[in-house]
Amino acid sequence: YFRELLWAGLFLILLGQFMTSLCTTYWQVLLAQGVCIGLGCGLTFLPSTAILSQYFLKRRSFVIGIAATGSPIAGMVFPIIFGRLQPVIGFGWATRIMGFILLGLSVIPALWMHTRLPPSGHKRSLIDRTALRDPAFMLVMVGSFFAFLSMYIAFFYIQLFAVSRGIGPASFSSYFVTLLSAGSIPGRVVPNYLADKISAVYVQTSLAAGAAIMMFAWLGINNMAGLIVFAIIYGCFSGGMVSITPSVIVSLSPDLGRVGTRMGMMNFTSGISILIGTPIAGAILGGYSEVEWQAMIGYGAAALTVGCFCFTLAKIFQLKQERSLKA
């Protein structure tokens, strides 16, 4: 169902984007952006990532990393486009122009993306039961759940942090998110290149450790230079965490035919984590006092630390499995 998923996802993304241009109330934005575009992104992400493992073997992780740079590039470009157009032509047409850009870009995957291997002759379950008996895979899944609880806290709250602390001019605060996306670009390529040379789980563990360290460092930042450095470096580590996950799943899957199923399982648990993680951070933040800011950032750092610990255990189990196969 590769083509069906891809076409349906692209259609929902475009529909949600154009419907957003007509929204006048919150519930309409929630349906158009949250539900429609969210479903569309979910439908396109899994097949477009899983298909790469059919075309590349030696540099598979590196290719996945290159493909993953599309997200941070869009995260840099589209806010700038909208910010320039909205004061001139209004919200509606600024949003529609972004939709037309997406329409033009959607033609490329819609026409040229196709599977290399024929589909298997048997129907596959939504859950790979062999994965449930694989301790390394299960630890990575649990670790990803904790890591993604706090992965996007900085993306949602760094602008508010800068404004509430009076860090830099208010007009510059929106560019901190752009800096996070900019840092994410090398973070999605370099770690995946290294994953082809060494273990993908090693790289994932290092990225989680780096992201946790940067979250702890955020506790002591109170000036513009420090926040800029944090945004770039944390964006690098967090972007790497997102892009390395498919490579980790492939490295833990002896049967490439099960990669798509395992990615679905991983994305399901990570999706729940992302859904609840940022609201939990918002509830902790509460009234934006100094103590509440520290508590929220500490929560994020702790979640990433737990994720790093789980990834470390996963690598230990993976090494044990490899040794038992060689014995």
Q: pLDDT-based confidence at 123, cuts 50/70/90? A: low
pLDDT at 307 over 70: yes
Determine whether 120 is exposed, middle or buried from the number of CB atoms within 10 Å of its CB (0-12, 13-18, 19+).
exposed
Residue 92 CB neighbour total at 10 angstroms: 15
> How buried is 134 (Cβ within 10 angstroms: 0-12 exposed, 13-18 middle, 19+ buried)?
buried
Token digits for 157?
Answer: 């709250």
pLDDT in tens, 80-96: 888 889 889 999 999 99
pLDDT band at 287 (very low <50, low <70, confident <90, very high): confident
Quote the CA–CA distance of 240 and 207 in Å, as a whole number. 7
| Whether residue 295 has pLDDT greater than 80 | yes
* Three-state SS at 264: helix
Residues whose CB falls within 8 Å of the CB of residue 49, separated by 6 or more in sequence, listed in order? 64, 67, 246, 263
Buried b (16+ CB within 10 A) or exposed e, 181-202: bbbbbbbbbbbbebbbeebbbb
Residue 208 confidence (pLDDT): 95
Confidence of residue 117 (pLDDT cuts 50, 70, 90): low
149: confidence class by pLDDT, cuts 50, 70, 90: very high
Place of tokens 């702790």: 302
Give the fold, CATH level 3, of 128-327: Growth Hormone; Chain: A; (1.20.1250)
Sign of the torsion formed by the C-alpha atoms of 64, 240, 145 and 154: negative
- Asked if 269 and 139 count as a contact pair (C-beta separation under 8 A), the reply is no
Q: Mean pLDDT across the chain, nearest whole number?
A: 88
The answer, yes or no, to whether residue 230 has pLDDT greater than 90, is: yes
